[in-house]
Amino acid sequence: DGSRTIWSYRDWVIKALNKDMPYDEFTIEQLAGDLLPEPTKDQLIATAFHRNTMNNDEGGTDSEEFRMAAVLDRLNTTYQVWLSTTFECVQCYSHTYDPFKFEEYYKSLAFFNNTRDEDTQGDHPKLRFYTAQDEKRIDSIKRWLSTTGNTSLVKSTDLFLHTLEP
């Protein structure tokens, strides 16, 4: 695991706790903030909960094996955090006292296995947000371009800014 630049998620958690965000909202934003209608930047950042899994930039690893390890980690962490249960045993066999049975576990795994993750360089969260000052500068440039009547330049500027994303 290399270094991580996931401090914006950490800051989001701290802000959510400091403003006493309701638990249901706290949960929804982390598990599905990107699926909310017109998600805010903060709601997109909150979804980093599921991106904060293992990273591997080493050569020689099997991409599918590593992807599945990340999916299993995501599944196990989600259930451990929000349902206060672990899945370590039921991955292989069911105890009579386990809250989840073998079949239920693999149904949950199938749900989490619908993500696209590979063992590639830079397999970290890839959201870039500009500072408020930079946003003002960008908006000012777009307004100036719009006043020239050249909408293709505005679109080109948006495309250029998109290329700056990690």
Residue range 29-54, pLDDT digits in tens: 999 998 999 999 899 999 888 877 77
Q: Where does the pLDDT of residue 21 fall: very low under 50, low under 70, confident under 90, or very high at 90 and above?
A: very high
- 139-162 confidence digits (pLDDT tens): 888 888 888 877 787 778 777 776
d(CA 24, CA 6) in angstroms, rounded, equals 23
Contacts of 51 by beta carbon, 8 Å cutoff, 6+ apart: 6, 124, 125
Q: Is the pTM of this model over 0.85?
A: no
Percentage above 90 pLDDT, the chain: 19
How large a percentage of the chain has pLDDT more than 70? 84
